[in-house]
Homo-oligomer: A and B are copies of this chain.
Amino acid sequence: MGINLSNFLNSKSKSRKMLEFQDLNHLDGISISTVSANLYNNKRDDLVMFYFRDGANFSTVYTQSKIISENIKWNRNQKVKKIYSLIINSRNANSFTGDSGYKSMDNIADLISQKLTEKQKDDEEQPFKIKSKNIIFGCTGTIGEKYPEEKIKEKIPNLINNIRYTQNKYIWMKSALAIMTTDTYPKMAMEECKIGNDIVKIYGIAKGSGMIQPNMGTTLCYLFTDASISNEVLKKLLKKNVSNTFNAISCDSDTSTNDMIGIFSTSKVSHVKIKSISDKNLKKFDESLNKVMLNLAKRVVADGEGATKFVEIKINGCKTEIDAKKIAFSIANSPLVKTAIAGEDPNWGRIIMAIGKSGVEINQKKLSIKLGDLSVVHKGKISSQYNEKELSSYMKNSNIDISIEIQNGSKKFTVYTMDLTKEYIKINADYRS
C-alpha cells in the first residue's frame, strides 16, 4: 500500500495532509462522470469524462518521447482556444496503434461532440454545438494493443447520462480511481487561494506508478481551477511549475509514450481575469499550484511500483541547476543506490559512485554528504561524527533524506524517488499476465 506519507505531508496546508474524499467537493464549471467500459472485465471504472459546460481555458504539456501515443497526436492537432471535454481511459495506451488508433480518437470525439451537443440542447437556454476539436484525450495502459474503440463508444451515452452539474463528494475520488493502472491508491490534491477578493480552488488528480522518469510531465496529471486565467498564462504557469515537481521525480527512469499534464480553468469564480504572467494577483495562485503539483508528484513517487521508502535527494552548491539535476538524477536512478536503501544498508559508497558517474566535475575535497541529520562525508573525508550504528538505525525510516553539498556554486535541485525492491520486479515481470 505504498509508503506512509505523514512525514512529508504533515503541515496544515490542505495539500500536505492526506486528503479525505470529502475535501474535494464542487468546483464550479466542471462536471465529472465515470463508467466501466469493460476494459478490465467490468471489475472497475476505467473511463472518465470531465465536461466543461461553458468551456475551459487550458494548457497541456506532453511526453518528450520520440514515439508518442495516438491520443497525444490527436490532442496536439486540435488548435482551439477552449476545451469542452477531457476523456481519460486506463488499461490501453493507444500507443503504437497507428492510423487505426488515431481514427478511433476521431470517431469517439465525433460521437461525444454529437451527444454533448444534444445535451446542450436539453439543458441550456442558449445551447451551442460542441465540436469534436474541442475534446481531448488521456490514455494509459499497455502499449501496442488495439484501441478498444467500440467498447468505449458503447459507454459514451452512459457517461453523458451520469453527468451531474454539482459534484457529489465521491466523484473526484472516483475519477482518480478510474485512471489508475498499477497504482495502489488514488492521488488527489487541493489548495485554495485568493485572487482579488475571491477564493479560488485548485484541484488535481494524478496517476503513476511505472514508467516514471522526468522528461516534462511524467505520468498523467490533471489540474482544475475555477479562476479565470488565459491560455497563455496557464501555459507559462505549467511550464514553470512542472520543472521542480513532475520533472523532479523518478521511480524507474522510464518515460512513457503517453505522459500528459493538463490544466483547465473554468473562470467561474474569480472576477479578476488574468492575462499576464506578471499580474500581481497571480503570486498566491502560482504558489498554490506548485503545492498541488508537488504534492501529486510526491504521491506518485511514494506509490511507485514496489516502493517501501520515500527518498528526497537534495543537491546544493552547484555551478548550474543542470549540474545539480544531473547529480540528483544520477543518484535517484542508480539501481545500486536504490537497492541499498531497500536493504536499509547505509552503503554511502554507492552515492559516491553515482555522483562520479553523473559526469559533473567535482572537487572531492569539498564534497559533503548527510543522511538525514547525520554527517557521513565532510569535505571529502569520512565525517568525524560518522557512526555506523546510528546510520543503520536511520536507514530503517520510511523517509530517507540525502543531502549533498558540492561547494562549487549556489545552484541547487531536489529530486524525489523511492527504493527498488523485489516487489517492483514482481509487479513488472507479471504485469500483463
Contacts and interface: CB of A to CB of B under 8 A. Distances in A.
Interface of A: 63-68, 93, 95-96, 98, 142-145, 210-211, 213, 215, 252-257, 333-336, 339-340, 342-343, 345, 347-350, 352-362, 364, 377, 380-382, 420-422, 424-426, 428-433
A269 to B, nearest CB: 39
Contact of A428 (B333, B339, B377, B432): B339
Given A67-B364, A361-B66, A432-B345, A255 B421 contact: no
A220 to B, nearest CB: 15
B433 A358 contact: no
The A interface, classified by DSSP as helix, strand, loop or mixed, is loop
A210 B63 CA distance: 31
* Number of identical monomers bound together in the oligomeric complex: 2
A425 B348 contact: no
B431 A349 contact: no
A108 to B, nearest CB: 21
Given A98-B380, A357-B215, A429-B343, A253 B333 contact: yes
A255 B353 contact: yes
21 contacts: A64-B357, A65-B356, A66-B355, A66-B357, A67-B353, A67-B364, A96-B364, A143-B352, A144-B348, A144-B377, A210-B336, A211-B336, A213-B357, A252-B336, A253-B334, A254-B357, A257-B352, A343-B429, A343-B433, A345-B429, A420-B425
A362 B257 CA distance: 13
B422 A353 contact: no
A427 to B, nearest CB: 8
Nearest to A421: B425
Contact of A425 (B215, B252, B342, B355): B342
A333 to B, nearest CB: 7
Contacts of A433: 343, 345
A336 B255 contact: no
Given A95-B349, A255-B353, A340 B144 contact: no
Given A347-B142, A433-B345, A425 B95 contact: no
A253 B211 CA distance: 16
A176 to B, nearest CB: 23
Contacts of A340: 428-429, 431
Nearest to A422: B422
A257 B362 CA distance: 13
B339 A429 contact: yes
Contacts of A213: 357
Contacts of A422: 422, 425-426
B68 A356 contact: yes
A142 B382 CA distance: 14
Contacts of A358: 66
Given A254-B335, A353-B257, A362 B67 contact: yes
Given A255-B356, A362-B67, A335 B428 contact: yes
Nearest to A96: B352
A144 B336 contact: no
Contacts of A63: 356
A181 to B, nearest CB: 13
B350 A143 contact: yes
Contacts of A66: 355-362
